[in-house]
A and B are shown apart, each in its own frame.
Chain A
Amino acid sequence: MTSTAEPELGRSRKRKEDARLVTGATRWTDNMALPGMMHLAVLRSPVAHARITSVDTSEARRMSGVRAVVTGTDIAADQGSLPCAWPITEDMRSPQAPPMAVDTVNFAGEAVAMVAARSAAEARDALDAIDVDYDDLPVVLDVESAAQPGSPLVHTELGTNRSATWTFDSAEAGTGGDVDRALADAEVRVERTFRQQRLIPAFMEPRSVLVDPTSEQITVYSATQVPHILRTMLAMSLGVDEHKIRVIAPDVGGGFGGKLQVTPEEVLTFLMARRLGCPVKWTETRSETMVSAHHGRDQVQRLALAARRDGTVTGLNVELLADMGAYLRLVTPGIPILGGLMFNSIYKFDSYRFTCTNVFTTKTPTDAYRGAGRPEATFAIERMMDELAAELDMDPLEVRRRNWIDRAEFPYTTVAGLTYDSGDYEAATGRAEELFGYRQLREEQARRRQRADTVQLGIGVSTFTEMCGLAPSRVLGSLSYGAGGWEHAQIRVLPTGKVELVTGVSPHGQGHVTAWSQLVADRIGVPFDDVEVLHGDTQISPRGMDTYGSRSLSVGGMAAVSATDRVIEKARRIAAHMLECSEDDLEFSAGRFGVRGTDRGTGISDVALAAFTAHDLPEGVEPNLDAEATFDPENFSFPHGTHLCAVEVDTDTGEVRIRSYVCVDDVGTVVNPLIVEGQVHGGLAQGIAQALFEEAVHDEDGTLTTATLADYLVPTAADLPEFTTDRTETRATSNQLGVKGVGEAGTIASTPAVVNAVVDAVRHFGVDDVRMPCSPQRVWRAIRGVRASSETAPEAGGGLGSMETGGFAGSEGDLR
């Protein structure tokens, strides 16, 4: 066994995953077909809120190839209620969430019937023959009016549209002062209301589920981020024995939180397969994804910030209304709460209060989308810091410098009660300024203003942090989350010295197979190619909490590291026996146990073979080197960074062009810089898309008008700039690797950087906000001073939603 020539940690290994993906040798769920398999199609409600008065399936049942047509009434007794694992308060109101509507539909896109047929086309045809009569109920679309007493109700039985209110107050928690006093005493107060528009995760692979009930364990293949959670939740919500369910996440084409769900369709496919006793597959169309897979964001944020004239911030009050949509899905209620401890960000506020009211509307449920609560928080505070800077006529970077936690102050316990273990905001900001040419751009901005250039330059700043690596089970418990945050790994050293690593995380594009191989190769001292990473099948990987919240490396990777340590511990004992020396005399390096002070030694693969043959093992030693470990960190990790964006705004047309985008992220130790850079790029694209392009728009009847990729503007290559990325490296102290997590950083940081830049470009016209997405129309209106319209018109570029009627296009948009 030879050791690798250079350390794997920190090496830009090209990905093991790619070979299959670039040649089309893939295993997406929809690629699979099993003998006797039926195809499932789901009929969805075209109306947002109605009573179902009748469903006539007789014609559909007679159609060619149709095996079964099932309505909500048919499965009412079996289907259970979709799980919500995060009851944020004890008195949280949570409606029944049947996978298929029985008598009432609460959003357009909700399942009302399903057909199983020989072919997908026959199933789809039969949907058209099902006749459903609806008796309309009032739609509830605007989160602000929905929260008012007297509003029509989404769920009459709850008596209110308010699901729960969650508060954090630093005075009560003992982590800071009284925010009301701070605001009353403030030399400067900045108050703003921001709208976090509703977004759609828009993973590229439409969801697909294949359930095979023909073996002892019912096997569920699903395009999911969370096979382990899905298994447990299917068992709990359907009353099926957990050990009779096997869940496999084969190749999964992106998720971004959108596949962190127990979906109605997973349950429905399961029920249909059990009913028919044969494999059943459901694959959605893109339009189904758009209307029925959960959405993200959708908050109204009211902030009041208190500061002194010298720029020192003293207090922050945050009031949120969070749109749940029609039901509470897996972690819906907790999403805004994840941001609740982050609004204070990297700044040393003395007092802080956060109040979030979760509100039902008759729209698609919301839930996790890349960043999940933290982008919303970061957006709001970074916008506020720019507004404070404008108010004080101070440079936005200078305002931040005066308030951020200095590098010497770590570990630092924030006003929200979190302890940031490490960080160096000075270093990241300094590097970003240098790469960006901050001063020169400010000078150019001044020149353009002076000559009243048609194209104005704006500079946006975002000095973000986030909490990630979800994790600490103890903390998740204190936030009433329904599960822990640990992660599991197992290592099997095979007789030939090759290594299998079983991980409980469930990658769907992140490159874990490559990165985990690097981790293990380095520590056990085997070649990178000798490590196989196994995941995504509850039969292979029995324990895990899956992949989301930038947790995989900082929690799952650490579990793998702990398991390697145990492998080496076991091997050491056998090696000492083989070499007839004391364990203390052995040193392990690069895959070899050497006897100190001699040239005697043995490689780990020889030890593995000796363990396997078991002819001569020390007393009480089992015949393998396998080991497993679970890791549950003490704290979150806190990546941070400084993002700087320069935009050119054409004041005649409102068009925004990103001229340059520089980000310097600190994600701690880096295992694979190539993968990290890729994660940052992709994150930036999604954050920029929120700032400039994307919005889920509903018309006044509650119909999603952006239900295709022609209308919902996922950016293309031509819409995005070249990014300049760099890193600083401050080790996390919450795990041995020093890693923090990178999956969400780009998304969290970039949105405010872009919007701050847009506002900065046109602030001299009197503009102090432009609602997202900052479409040409909105920017143009803001410049022209048509402020009300710029704030109320929901639109999404070229989509139907951008066709305004009578000033603004939907009741959802009027906030004030």
Chain B
Amino acid sequence: MPRITVHVDGTTYTDDVSARTLLVQYLREHLGRTGTVVGCDTSNCGACTVHLDGQSVKSCSVLAAQADGHEITTIEGLSGDGGQHPMQQAFHDNHALQCGFCTPGMIMQAVDLLSDTPEPDDQQIREGLEGNLCRCTGYQNIVRAVRDASRRMRAGAEAEHTGETPAPRSAEERTAQPTGGQS
């Protein structure tokens, strides 16, 4: 059994794990970090996405042994201070989740997306989240949330909205943009 030392959400753990243990199993079953979930067996759904040394990985596709000596951040450690990361806040504010099962992975991937592309357009957001499936939202509010978080995370920029109820949609979003015909 390999012995590994992994830093997870600010705590150091040293454990003997069987060679086949997946990182997600190690997080959930050995460390009790059940915020990260498993949605499929084929690395398609992305529900298990965490950060390994700041990069998003699907923790069902990483062996626990491969995480030896690395820093893992999960949804439970994302904010660091017990509050909420701007991405978590933006998901809440934009109703970017319903059942919430895909949400941890989606948020971790979205944070990674913004670290690569701080000001993505909608298409870049959609493509950047392509490895994460959501069955509830149709993605529209997820895209909106990521756009919102991008604004919040840029220094000095205003959030798309704050306060207890969401701001009304911008005029252009609200009223369709009947593209009508093109010539």
Tell whether, in the assembled complex, residue A286 and residue B42 are in contact, meaning their CB atoms are under 8 Å apart.
yes
Which one of A31, A660, A714 contacts B135 once the chains associate, using CB atoms below 8 Å?
Answer: A714
Would you give the 0/1 interface string for A1-22, flagging 1 where the beta carbon is closer than 8 Å to chain B?
Answer: 0000000000111110111111
With a cutoff of 8 Å between Cβ atoms, the chain B residues found around residue A722 in the complex are 122, 140, 143
Tell whether, in the assembled complex, residue B88 and residue A511 are in contact, meaning their CB atoms are under 8 Å apart.
no
Considering residues A18, A442, A685, which has the most beta carbons from chain B within 10 angstroms of its beta carbon?
A: A18
Take A25-B35, A717-B143 as given contacts and tell me if A435 and B47 are in contact as well, using a CB distance cutoff of 8 Å.
Answer: no
Which one of A11, A254, A445 contacts B136 once the chains associate, using CB atoms below 8 Å?
Answer: A254
Take A12-B166, A714-B133 as given contacts and tell me if A24 and B125 are in contact as well, using a CB distance cutoff of 8 Å.
Answer: no
A678 CA to B122 CA in the complex, in Å?
Answer: 18
Of the candidate stretches A65-73, A200-208, A532-540, A586-594, the one touching chain B is A200-208
A723 CA to B140 CA in the complex, in Å?
Answer: 7
Would you give the 0/1 interface string for B149-160, flagging 1 where the beta carbon is closer than 8 Å to chain A?
Answer: 000000000000
**CB within 8 Å of B: which A435-463 residues:** 435-437, 439-445, 447
A19 CA to B97 CA in the complex, in Å?
Answer: 11
Tell whether, in the assembled complex, residue A444 and residue B143 are in contact, meaning their CB atoms are under 8 Å apart.
no
With a cutoff of 8 Å between Cβ atoms, the chain B residues found around residue A659 in the complex are 179
Tell whether, in the assembled complex, residue A26 and residue B34 are in contact, meaning their CB atoms are under 8 Å apart.
yes
Take A674-B166, A710-B42, A718-B130 as given contacts and tell me if A660 and B98 are in contact as well, using a CB distance cutoff of 8 Å.
Answer: no
Nearest CB on B from A658, distance (A) = 12
Nearest CB on A from B134, distance (A) = 7
Q: How large is the interface on B (under 10, 10 to 19, 20 to 34, 35 or more residues)?
A: 35 or more
Tell whether, in the assembled complex, residue B179 and residue A13 are in contact, meaning their CB atoms are under 8 Å apart.
no
A463 CA to B142 CA in the complex, in Å?
Answer: 28
Closest partner residue, chain A, to B175 (CB atom): A435
Q: How large is the interface on A (under 10, 10 to 19, 20 to 34, 35 or more residues)?
A: 35 or more
A439 CA to B178 CA in the complex, in Å?
Answer: 11
**CB within 8 Å of A: which B72-106 residues:** 74-76, 78-79, 84, 88, 91-93, 95, 97-104
Tell whether, in the assembled complex, residue B138 and residue A720 are in contact, meaning their CB atoms are under 8 Å apart.
yes
Considering residues B47, B107, B137, B139, which has the most beta carbons from chain A within 10 angstroms of its beta carbon?
A: B139
Tell whether, in the assembled complex, residue A14 and residue B95 are in contact, meaning their CB atoms are under 8 Å apart.
yes
A662 at the binding interface (Cβ < 8 Å): yes
A253 at the binding interface (Cβ < 8 Å): yes
A495 at the binding interface (Cβ < 8 Å): no
Would you give the 0/1 interface string for B9-50, flagging 1 where the beta carbon is closer than 8 Å to chain A?
Answer: 000000000101000000011000111111111101101000
Tell whether, in the assembled complex, residue A204 and residue B35 are in contact, meaning their CB atoms are under 8 Å apart.
no
Nearest CB on A from B176, distance (A) = 4
Tell whether, in the assembled complex, residue A14 and residue B107 are in contact, meaning their CB atoms are under 8 Å apart.
no
With a cutoff of 8 Å between Cβ atoms, the chain A residues found around residue B176 in the complex are 435-436, 662, 724, 726
Considering residues B33, B92, B95, B104, which has the most beta carbons from chain A within 10 angstroms of its beta carbon?
A: B95
Which one of A25, A662, A710, A720 contacts B76 once the chains associate, using CB atoms below 8 Å?
Answer: A25
A684 CA to B136 CA in the complex, in Å?
Answer: 10
With a cutoff of 8 Å between Cβ atoms, the chain B residues found around residue A717 in the complex are 125-127, 129-130, 132, 134, 139, 142-143
A720 CA to B141 CA in the complex, in Å?
Answer: 12
Tell whether, in the assembled complex, residue B42 and residue A682 are in contact, meaning their CB atoms are under 8 Å apart.
no
Tell whether, in the assembled complex, residue A509 and residue B99 are in contact, meaning their CB atoms are under 8 Å apart.
yes
Which one of A121, A202, A444, A511 contacts B98 once the chains associate, using CB atoms below 8 Å?
Answer: A511
B183 at the binding interface (Cβ < 8 Å): yes
Tell whether, in the assembled complex, residue B47 and residue A26 are in contact, meaning their CB atoms are under 8 Å apart.
no
B165 at the binding interface (Cβ < 8 Å): yes
Tell whether, in the assembled complex, residue B135 and residue A202 are in contact, meaning their CB atoms are under 8 Å apart.
yes
Closest partner residue, chain A, to B166 (CB atom): A12
Which one of A15, A25, A660 contacts B179 once the chains associate, using CB atoms below 8 Å?
Answer: A660
Tell whether, in the assembled complex, residue A716 and residue B135 are in contact, meaning their CB atoms are under 8 Å apart.
no
Tell whether, in the assembled complex, residue A444 and residue B99 are in contact, meaning their CB atoms are under 8 Å apart.
no
A103 CA to B95 CA in the complex, in Å?
Answer: 49
A675 at the binding interface (Cβ < 8 Å): yes
Which one of A14, A435, A439, A686 contacts B166 once the chains associate, using CB atoms below 8 Å?
Answer: A14
Nearest CB on B from A661, distance (A) = 10
B170 at the binding interface (Cβ < 8 Å): no
Tell whether, in the assembled complex, residue B92 and residue A509 are in contact, meaning their CB atoms are under 8 Å apart.
no
With a cutoff of 8 Å between Cβ atoms, the chain A residues found around residue B131 in the complex are 716
Tell whether, in the assembled complex, residue A204 and residue B165 are in contact, meaning their CB atoms are under 8 Å apart.
no
With a cutoff of 8 Å between Cβ atoms, the chain A residues found around residue B101 in the complex are 28, 203-205, 253-254
Tell whether, in the assembled complex, residue B35 and residue A26 are in contact, meaning their CB atoms are under 8 Å apart.
yes
Tell whether, in the assembled complex, residue B165 and residue A435 are in contact, meaning their CB atoms are under 8 Å apart.
no
A709 at the binding interface (Cβ < 8 Å): yes
Tell whether, in the assembled complex, residue A22 and residue B135 are in contact, meaning their CB atoms are under 8 Å apart.
no
Take A14-B93, A717-B143 as given contacts and tell me if A682 and B98 are in contact as well, using a CB distance cutoff of 8 Å.
Answer: yes
A679 CA to B98 CA in the complex, in Å?
Answer: 9
With a cutoff of 8 Å between Cβ atoms, the chain B residues found around residue A22 in the complex are 75, 84, 88, 91-92, 97, 100, 103, 107
Closest partner residue, chain B, to A204 (CB atom): B101
Closest partner residue, chain A, to B133 (CB atom): A714
Tell whether, in the assembled complex, residue B181 and residue A440 are in contact, meaning their CB atoms are under 8 Å apart.
yes
Take A12-B166, A286-B42, A718-B127 as given contacts and tell me if A21 and B97 are in contact as well, using a CB distance cutoff of 8 Å.
Answer: yes
A251 at the binding interface (Cβ < 8 Å): yes
Measured CB to CB, the residues of A under 8 A from B are 11-15, 17-26, 28, 30-31, 120-121, 202-206, 251-254, 256, 285-287, 434-437, 439-445, 447, 508-511, 659-660, 662, 674-675, 677-679, 681-686, 708-710, 714, 716-718, 720, 722-724, 726, 746
CB pairs A–B below 8 angstroms (24 shown): A14-B165, A18-B100, A23-B84, A28-B101, A203-B135, A204-B134, A206-B38, A206-B39, A254-B136, A437-B180, A441-B179, A444-B182, A447-B181, A660-B179, A678-B141, A682-B137, A708-B40, A716-B126, A716-B131, A717-B132, A717-B142, A718-B130, A720-B140, A722-B122
Measured CB to CB, the residues of B under 8 A from A are 18, 20, 28-29, 33-42, 44-45, 47, 74-76, 78-79, 84, 88, 91-93, 95, 97-104, 107, 122, 125-127, 129-143, 164-166, 175-183
Closest 10 CB pairs of A and B: A24-B35, A437-B180, A444-B181, A509-B99, A440-B180, A21-B100, A253-B101, A437-B178, A685-B138, A681-B138
Apart from A204-B133, A709-B133, what 19 extra A-B contacts exist at CB < 8 Å? A12-B165, A15-B92, A22-B103, A25-B76, A28-B37, A31-B28, A203-B99, A203-B101, A204-B45, A204-B136, A205-B39, A253-B100, A285-B41, A437-B180, A441-B180, A441-B181, A678-B141, A683-B138, A716-B131
